[in-house]
């Protein structure tokens, strides 16, 4: 093996480690994520699909599709849907939800699709600050007159889940803390990321989303299923992590209506330049 091919294969292995590790985290508690967390984003799914005109015969790819709820919403509008995610456990649920869809496990930085084969590409809280190469891949698989849309966390002062994320950062090893913080900055940099990757921004806005749980235990188990929670759980143990979350969630519990936590998601739509 030559020096350069050795470097290339080492880079490829390192990249593979990163996305398989992300998939391992997000897939650690797949049913809790799919059925007790992912539905919070439904208002954002509908809003973005409305803006992008997703309907009969739209060829749609959802990048970092998780357990495929957004793809299912698109399929119910008549779109022909594909989805890709790093977690095989979440992809199993996506396939069960939408048997007619085309779902695969893989890396959003190297999409396993040919050039120009989708009318619409979306990503719901899947492409973050620093993920410019994922946008380049989204652009590559879009037709020249296709459309792109994505969501990300909105302003911190409109983020009911902020104390939860702060607790995750507090309990995570230092090596994982900045990764969680960088995610929150996506709204500040997304226009520049899109311009750099040959997109022109069309529209931007915010949409309120709400996590709803009947009781504190369900809320805590659900919150423990998100990928960023995993390094904290591995650091302090599942029971201690849940105990720490319980302290945050208990004051939010209403005996009549349960636990309701609202946050803003930012959204943006763009066209290839
Ligand atoms: C916040 S979740 C969003 C999931 C889904 N889009 C939703 O709205 O619920 C982020 C997702 O990105 C996936 N992910 C992280 N890195 C990835 C990568 N390099 N390639 C593909 N998927 C990735 C994770 O497995 C996870 O399902």
Instruction: Name the pLDDT band for 177 (thresholds 50, 70, 90).
Output: low
Residue 175 pLDDT greater than 90, yes or no? no
Q: Is the CB of 72 under 6 A from ligand 1?
A: no
Residue that has been written with the tokens 């998100």 in this structure: 226
Q: Is the CB of 119 under 6 A from ligand 1?
A: no
Dist. CA 214–CA 200, nearest whole Å? 42
For atom 9 of ligand 1, which residue has the closest CA? 38
Task: Please give the domain boundaries of the chain with CATH numbers for all domains.
Answer: 3-157+184-210+264-272 (3.40.50.150)
Q: Is the CB of 272 under 6 A from ligand 1?
A: no
If one residue of 25, 86, 92 were mutated to test the ligand 1 pocket, choosing by the most ligand atoms within 8 A of its CB, it would be: 86
Report helix, strand or coil for 53: coil
Share of the chain above pLDDT 90, in %: 84
Dist. CA 24–CA 234, nearest whole Å? 13
- Taking the centre of ligand 1 as the mean of its atom positions, its distance from the CA of residue 249, in whole angstroms, is 25
| pLDDT value, residue 229 | 95
Q: How is residue 195 written in tokens?
A: 């311009």
- Taking the centre of ligand 1 as the mean of its atom positions, its distance from the CA of residue 3, in whole angstroms, is 34
Query: Of 5-9, 98-102, 108-112, where does mean pLDDT reach its minimum?
Result: 5-9
Residue that has been written with the tokens 């040919």 in this structure: 114
Q: What is the 3-state secondary structure (H, E, C) of 68-95?
A: CHHHHHHHHCCCEEEEEECCHHHHHHHH
The pLDDT tens digits for 197-256 are 999 999 999 999 999 999 999 999 999 999 999 999 999 999 999 999 999 999 999 999
Contact (CB, 8 A) for 214 and 160: no
Q: Is the CB of 153 under 6 A from ligand 1?
A: no
Spatial neighbors of 44 by CB under 8 A, at least 6 apart, are 124, 151, 207, 209, 265, 267
| Closest ligand 1 atom number to CA of residue 84 | 21
Residue 180 CB neighbours (<10 A): 18
Q: Is the CB of 41 under 6 A from ligand 1?
A: yes
- Taking the centre of ligand 1 as the mean of its atom positions, its distance from the CA of residue 20, in whole angstroms, is 11
| pLDDT value, residue 36 | 97
- Between the alpha carbon of residue 183 and those of residues 20, 82, 249, the distances in Å are 18, 25, 22
DSSP H helical ranges for the chain: 3-26, 30-36, 42-51, 69-76, 88-97, 132-141, 162-171, 174-183, 186-196, 216-223, 229-236, 238-249
The whole model's pTM is what? 0.94
- Taking the centre of ligand 1 as the mean of its atom positions, its distance from the CA of residue 183, in whole angstroms, is 12
Report, in angstroms and rounded to the nearest whole number, the Rg of the chain calculated over CA atoms. Answer: 19
Q: How is residue 123 written in tokens?
A: 């990503």
């Amino acid at each position: 093996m030559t020096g350069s091919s050795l470097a290339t294969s080492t880079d490829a292995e390192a990249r593979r480690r990163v996305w398989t590790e992300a998939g391992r985290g997000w897939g650690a508690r797949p049913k809790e994520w799919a059925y007790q967390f992912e539905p919070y984003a439904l208002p954002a799914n509908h809003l973005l699909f409305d803006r992008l005109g997703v309907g009969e015969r739209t060829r749609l790819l959802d990048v970092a599709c998780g357990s495929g709820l957004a793809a299912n919403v698109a399929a119910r509008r008549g779109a022909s849907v594909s989805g890709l995610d790093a977690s095989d456990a979440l992809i199993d649920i996506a396939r069960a939800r939408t048997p007619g869809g085309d779902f695969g496990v893989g890396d959003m930085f190297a999409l396993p699709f040919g050039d120009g084969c989708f009318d619409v590409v979306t990503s719901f809280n899947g492409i973050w600050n620093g993920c410019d190469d994922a946008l380049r891949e989204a652009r590559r698989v879009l037709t020249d007159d296709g459309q792109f849309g994505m969501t990300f966390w909105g302003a911190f002062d409109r983020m009911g889940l902020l104390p939860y994320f702060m607790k995750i950062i507090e309990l995570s090893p230092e090596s994982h803390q900045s990764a969680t913080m960088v995610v929150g900055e996506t709204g500040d940099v997304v226009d520049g990321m899109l311009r750099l990757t040959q997109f022109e921004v069309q529209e931007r806005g915010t949409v309120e989303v709400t996590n709803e749980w009947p009781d504190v235990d369900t809320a805590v188990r659900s919150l423990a299923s998100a990928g960023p929670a995993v390094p904290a759980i591995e650091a302090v143990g599942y029971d201690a992590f849940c105990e720490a979350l319980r302290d945050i969630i208990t004051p939010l519990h209403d005996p009549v209506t349960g636990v309701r936590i609202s946050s803003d998601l930012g959204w943006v739509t763009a066209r290839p330049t």
